[in-house]
A = this chain, B = another copy of it.
Amino acid sequence: MASHSEAGQVRPGGRTARTREAVCRATLQELAEHGYGNLSVEAVAERSGVHKTTIYRRWRDVDGLVVDSLNFAVDDDWQPYLSGDVRSNLLRLAEDALHAFTDPETGPTHTAVVAAAFQSSRAEAAVQGFFEDRFGRASAIVETAIAREELPPRIDRYAVIQAMMAPIYFRLFIARNPVGKEDIEQAVDVALAAARNGVFDRNSGDRS
């Protein structure tokens, strides 16, 4: 992908970075308002004020725009909150994720990317990578809990995070039910009960 080879040349705050920001923001807005099925390089060019030949050269096509815009939208410095006990750290994680997908400012674009994954295999791969990255980082909550002897040592860290987050995303994007404080607490308590009862235990051959 053209944007990959150029990424090394980007100076923060330089013209290339400003162009990327304008194009990615326009892509996310178009996605949120019209969906992947109606996304076009022409509409992104018009909205961003960046000439479409520049967009075709750097991003190649609509899928290139979606993938780079997801990377743009993701906060690379994100780390989970680790200062409380395991339950409060997990609650905070779930609340932050819920906020990102329901906040009027960030929700529509995040949701549009999840929706785009139904229609584009490159968007699908990008979304898959996003969750792997986030859940991988969030596993530090479980690691910390094990170090503090709040959870047994042999559990699959990633599986705890996935079990806790899945019901929230399921209600939001599949069953289409509201997600309240009691839903978040139940999701956390389900994951903790399972973790404490051996459901996530790895085989003895595995390492952390």
**A residues at B contact (CB < 8 Å):** 35-38, 111-112, 114-115, 117-119, 124-125, 127-128, 131-132, 135, 159, 162-163, 165-167, 169-171, 173-177, 186, 189-191, 193-194, 196-200
Residues of B within 8 A of A189 (CB): 194, 199
Most buried by B among A132, A173, A198: A173
Residues of B within 8 A of A111 (CB): 118
Residues of B within 8 A of A199 (CB): 186, 189-190, 193
Q: Given A119-B115, A186-B159, A190-B191, decide whether A128 and B37 contact each other with a Cβ distance below 8 A.
A: no
Contact among B115, B132, B166, B194 with A193 in the assembled complex (CB-CB below 8 Å): B194
Residues of B within 8 A of A190 (CB): 163, 190-191, 194, 199
Q: Is the interface of A mostly helix, strand, loop or mixed?
A: helix
What CA separation (Å) do A154 and B200 show in the bound complex?
25
Q: Given A37-B35, A194-B193, decide whether A163 and B173 contact each other with a Cβ distance below 8 A.
A: no
Most buried by B among A38, A114, A118: A118
Interchain CB contact under 8 A, B159 and A170: no
